Amino acid sequence: MHNAPADRRAQPLLIQNARLLDPASGLDAPGAILLRGGLIEAVGAITAPEGAAVLDAEGACLAPGLVDMRASTGEPGHEHRETIASLALAASAGGITTVCALPNTTPVLDDPAVLQFVLRRGEATGRIDLLPYGAATKHCEGREIAEYGLLKEAGAIAFSDGTKAIGNARTMRLALSYAKAFGSFVVQHPEEPALSQGGAATEGELATRLGLPGIPRAAEAMLVRRDIALARLTGGHVHFAHVSTAEALAEIRAAKAEGLRVTCDTAPPYFDLNETAIGDYRSYAKLSPPLRPEADRLAVVAALADGTIDAIASDHQPHDADDKRLPFAQAEAGGTGLATLLGVTLARVHGGDLSLLAALALLTSRPAALLGLPSGRLAPGAPADLVLFHLERGWQVKAGALPGKAQNSPFDGRALEGKVLGTWKAGRRVFG
Integer Cα distance of 168 and 137 in angstroms: 11
Which DSSP helix (H) or strand (E) runs through 177? helix 169-181
Of the residues 227, 315, 323, 412, which is catalytic?
A: 315
Full strand arrangement of the beta sheet holding 96-101: 66-71, 96-101, 129-132
CA 338 – CA 407 distance, rounded (Å): 10
Q: What are phi and psi of 339, to 5 degrees?
A: -70, -20
Read off φ and ψ for residue 111, nearest 5 degrees: -125, 125
Distances (CA, A) of 405 to 106, 269, 340, 409, 419: 18, 20, 14, 12, 20
| Whether residue 315 lies in the annotated active site | yes
Q: Please answer whether residues 199 and 186 qualify as being in contact, where contact means their C-beta atoms are separated by less than 8 angstroms.
A: no
Q: Hey, which bits of 65-195 come out as E strands?
A: 66-71, 96-101, 129-132, 134-135, 159-160, 186-188
Q: Which amino acid is at 270?
A: Y
Shortest CA distance to 333 belongs to which of 348, 317, 321, 310? 317
**Opening angle at CA 61, ends 383 and 414, nearest 5:** 110
The whole-angstrom separation of Cα 45 and Cα 159 is 42
Distance CA 297, CA 244 (A): 7
- Active-site amino acid positions: 315
